[in-house]
Amino acid sequence: MHPNKLLTDFLEYLEVERSRSQKTIENYSFYIKRFLMWAEISKPEDITIELIRNYRIYLNRWTDEKGVGLKKNTQNYHVIAIRSFLKYLAKRDIKSLSAEKIEIGKNPTHEIEFLDGDEVERLLQAASSNDLKTLRDRAILELLFSAGLRVSELVNINRDQINLQRQEFSVRGKGDKIRIVFISDTAKSALEKYLDKRTDAEEEVFINISKNISGTVSKIRRDKLKNKKAKTQTKRLTARSVERIVKFYAAKAGIVKDVHPHTLRHSFATDLLANGADIRSVQTMLGHSSITTTQIYTHITNVQLKDTHKKFHGKRK
């Protein structure tokens, strides 16, 4: 059977039997198609360890029209997808290279950028007006920091998900995994003020708000049937819109760091660990499937090691 047909079967397997998210399926499709186009093979048996080695060299040397190459972790994602494809072939008893023969390169460690307590407070206070748009933005900032949400999780929240009384709700994270997140008193207050000011019946929590509408989106709802343009004004916020909102208030607060929504997720994790939370609990709250992912925070938040160094190092007798 031709590899392209097997790829289609593999993607359907991921969707139906493995219940992988649509984003994961899209990524695997892209990575494996890229490999098959480069390899120009006609049957799975043609996949050899030498072919994989040459492909990895190709990925490492590849550059776009601006001369920018692929990051090491992106190169590894390509290889991980190929390995998964080979495992699927083995599961179907289709002769090809054994996935175990392919080693995954080590991802380079990178420094985590996060905001300290003062910077978080300045960022939140930068959204302090009482108009609907600013109340929405304050709720976004509070929720990103309070619950450690991914931006994709934030924009997909609906009103019926949130239990303000219990200050918790469930979100669907990577791999369609559902987890419970908790919000602080200040995040609860920000959400209440924002939702109380909303007079529409839209199910989405975070929506676009037209600049020419003062304090209410009810007019938009009334005009929906009359004006098609108005329909686009109540749609769910996109991840890109949230990124622009976060950057706007970071600049307004005078924060010189390059602040993204994920910066607040990093800040959430480092704040918990620095104040004594155990790493397993933080792993659960972040929705990490592996403790290894959570451990990227420990080298900058290990207060105990810092105190030990201060207590015992450099004591001259």
Identify whether 136 is a catalytic site residue.
no
Closest CA to 301 of 106, 117, 55: 117
Are 283 and 164 in contact by the 8 Å Cβ rule? The answer is: no
* Partners of 178 in the β-ladder: 172
Q: Which one of 34, 72, 172, 174 is the catalytic residue?
A: 174
Q: In whole angstroms, give the CA distance from residue 290 to residue 103.
A: 19
Identify whether 288 is a catalytic site residue.
yes
Q: Which one of 78, 83, 265, 266 is the catalytic residue?
A: 265
194: number of CA atoms within 13 Å, CB side? 26
Q: Which one of 83, 136, 262, 266 is the catalytic residue?
A: 262
Closest CA to 82 of 19, 45, 34: 34
Identify whether 150 is a catalytic site residue.
yes
Q: Which one of 20, 83, 150, 266 is the catalytic residue?
A: 150
Are 97 and 106 in contact by the 8 Å Cβ rule? The answer is: no
Other C-beta atoms within 10 Å of 134: how many? 16
Q: Which one of 288, 299, 306, 311 is the catalytic residue?
A: 288
Identify whether 262 is a catalytic site residue.
yes
Q: Which residues are catalytic?
A: 150, 174, 262, 265, 288, 297
